[in-house]
């Protein structure tokens, strides 16, 4: 097995045993990038020189016994976090040359923990998409089948982990943008509770929905990364001062006697038969581990898509108003006046999907329509949250499919926004309710495409998610395949 194929904890064991070095692991990752990146296109910006220097520095710390939780581990960052001195584009022309003067909190935390940064990964423009096809830098491909999408909007981060172009990565999740690509790329993806991980330095899409989380090769690595990035940040107004446990201690726990809810609304007409069969098999595994699976109802699920596509575009309309060509980012040239500069800058700087959502959001917030759209959507959002509150009064966790289908073909849904939006139908409710969720590989289709199962828990119950996901992972023994590329 090559070094780039290993997990965080496997590499750490080799560091302790003196069997390898960070420089060797990092070199292995970049050798893999050189071999496959031209096909996968997971990255927007590579940080090779600084990564190799960071690896050498990490090896010195390892020799001196001055290690942190991630010392010497190559990590990729979604290109939505501010990184001091390294361009941050959000996959958009309007920020194609933006170089932030500071690091996001999660970047600071990873750096303090000793991580080696391999680069900034590709994403749907401003995180608006489900396939990583709306990036102005071109589409990322699924490592399992290069004719297919990796999911989105964090498709570059998921594809990089699956393809061995990093050991782990971070993404962001506004409506499923960690869990959906994790499922489609055959890796683990965890969306924390809203407020658990600081959003300071995250370029906003929809501020009441955005959350940062990890992509990893197994559940133990997700726990390791959560130990680093979780916690209160006084610089971030929605950060919650909730105590953060050691998530690794949940890895050994069983689920005997647990009650796991299976929402009937998530097994719908149109779900791919192979996806449904794999998730039904996951239910059997959870039951064999000692849990009791019961059917539950989340009655307002049918409204989630409509609510999301009012709330998210409305917040995006507000957040993206700052990109006008005045203070930073792209500016159109040869303008007669300020108004023309605004129009030409935003028309040329934003892609079609971003402009579509800005227009939807501006309309929903406009005078005479606010009560009918945004206010009503916010009220129904409260009902969706209440559905989960009632469910968790009787259940320890909820189990659902992560996606309705395996990865679809590149270009298949770009001309049909509604079909694209339906890709997130099983993940959107989690963001609306602010609860945590994790997607774990649960099998493959007959053609070899990955399938994911999703576990959901109550607010700040990431430990419970890690416990059931780890118990499932150990018992299910899903074949540890890697894309051949």
**Active-site residue set:** 78, 153, 177
Strand partners, 145: 142
Please state, in angstroms and rounded to a whole number, the distance separating the CA atoms of residues 30 and 22. 12
Displacement of CA 9 from its chain's centroid (Å): 21
Exposed, middle or buried, 367 (CB in 10 Å: 0-12/13-18/19+)? exposed
Helix orientation angle between 48-64 and 22-40, rounded to the nearest 10 degrees: 150
What 3-state class would DSSP assign to 421? Answer: helix
Closest CA to 150 of 177, 127, 119: 177
CB-based contact 182:215 (threshold 8 Å): yes
257: its two tokens = 């006697």
197: its two tokens = 């991980």
Please state, in angstroms and rounded to a whole number, the distance separating the CA atoms of residues 57 and 62. 9
Please state, in angstroms and rounded to a whole number, the distance separating the CA atoms of residues 212 and 221. 16
Which residue in this structure is represented by tokens 């828990």? 457
CB-based contact 183:427 (threshold 8 Å): no
CB-based contact 377:371 (threshold 8 Å): no
Count of residues making up the chain: 485
CB-based contact 45:79 (threshold 8 Å): yes
Intra-chain end-to-end CA distance of the chain, in Å: 15
CB-based contact 172:55 (threshold 8 Å): no
Please state, in angstroms and rounded to a whole number, the distance separating the CA atoms of residues 71 and 56. 11
The DSSP string of 94-152 is GGTT---SS--HHHHHHHHTTPEEEEEE--SGGG--SSS---TT----BTTBTTB---S
363: its two tokens = 């309309």
Please state, in angstroms and rounded to a whole number, the distance separating the CA atoms of residues 146 and 347. 31
Please state, in angstroms and rounded to a whole number, the distance separating the CA atoms of residues 346 and 341. 8
CB burial of 315-335 (b: ≥16 within 10 Å; e: otherwise) equals bbbbbbeebbbeeebbbbeee
């Amino acid at each position: 097995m090559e070094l780039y194929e290993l997990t965080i904890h496997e590499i750490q064991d080799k560091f302790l045993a003196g069997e390898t070095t960070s420089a060797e692991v990092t070199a292995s990752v970049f050798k893999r990038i050189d071999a496959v990146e031209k096909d996968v296109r997971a990255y927007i910006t590579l940080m090779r020189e600084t990564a190799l220097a960071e690896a050498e520095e990490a090896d010195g710390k390892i020799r001196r016994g001055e290690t942190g939780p991630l010392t010497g581990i190559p990590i990729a960052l979604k290109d939505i976090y501010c990184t001091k001195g390294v361009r941050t584009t959000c996959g958009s022309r309007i920020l194609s040359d933006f170089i932030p003067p500071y690091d996001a909190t999660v970047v600071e935390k990873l750096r303090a923990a000793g991580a080696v940064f391999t680069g900034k990964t590709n994403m749907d423009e401003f995180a608006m998409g489900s396939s990583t096809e709306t990036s102005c830098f071109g589409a990322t491909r699924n490592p399992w089948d290069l004719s297919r999408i990796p999911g989105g909007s964090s498709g570059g981060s998921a594809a990089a982990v699956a393809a061995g172009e990093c050991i782990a990565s971070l993404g962001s999740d506004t409506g499923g943008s960690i869990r959906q690509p994790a499922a489609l790329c055959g890796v683990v993806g965890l969306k924390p509770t809203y407020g658990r991980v600081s959003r300071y330095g995250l370029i906003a899409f929809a501020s009441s929905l955005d959350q940062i989380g990890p992509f990893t090769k197994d559940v133990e690595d997700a726990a390791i990364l959560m130990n680093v990035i979780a916690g209160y940040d006084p610089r971030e107004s929605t950060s919650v001062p909730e105590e953060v446990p050691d998530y690794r201690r949940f890895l050994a726990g069983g689920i005997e006697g647990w009650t796991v809810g299976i929402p009937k609304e998530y097994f719908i007409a149109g779900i791919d038969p192979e996806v449904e069969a794999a998730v039904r098999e996951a239910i059997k595994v959870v039951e064999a581990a000692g849990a009791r699976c019961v059917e539950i109802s989340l009655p307002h699920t049918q409204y989630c898509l409509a609510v999301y596509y009012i709330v998210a575009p409305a917040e995006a309309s507000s957040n993206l108003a700052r990109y006008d060509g005045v203070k930073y980012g792209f500016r159109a040239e040869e303008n007669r006046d300020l108004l023309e500069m605004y129009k030409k800058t935003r028309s040329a700087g934003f892609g079609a999907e971003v402009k579509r959502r800005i227009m939807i959001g501006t309309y929903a917030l406009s005078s005479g329509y606010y009560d009918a759209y945004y206010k009503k959507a916010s009220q129904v959002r409260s009902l969706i949250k209440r559905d989960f509150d009632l469910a968790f009064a009787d259940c320890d966790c909820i189990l659902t499919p992560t996606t309705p289908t395996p990865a679809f073909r590149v270009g298949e849904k770009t001309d049909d926004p509604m079909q694209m939006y339906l890709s997130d139908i099983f993940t959107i409710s989690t963001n609306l309710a602010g609860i945590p969720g994790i997607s774990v590989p649960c099998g493959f289709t007959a053609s070899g495409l990955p399938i994911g199962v999703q576990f959901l828990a109550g607010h700040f119950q990431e430990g419970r998610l890690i416990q059931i996901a780890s118990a499932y992972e150990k018992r299910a023994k899903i074949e540890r395949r890697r894309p051949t590329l």
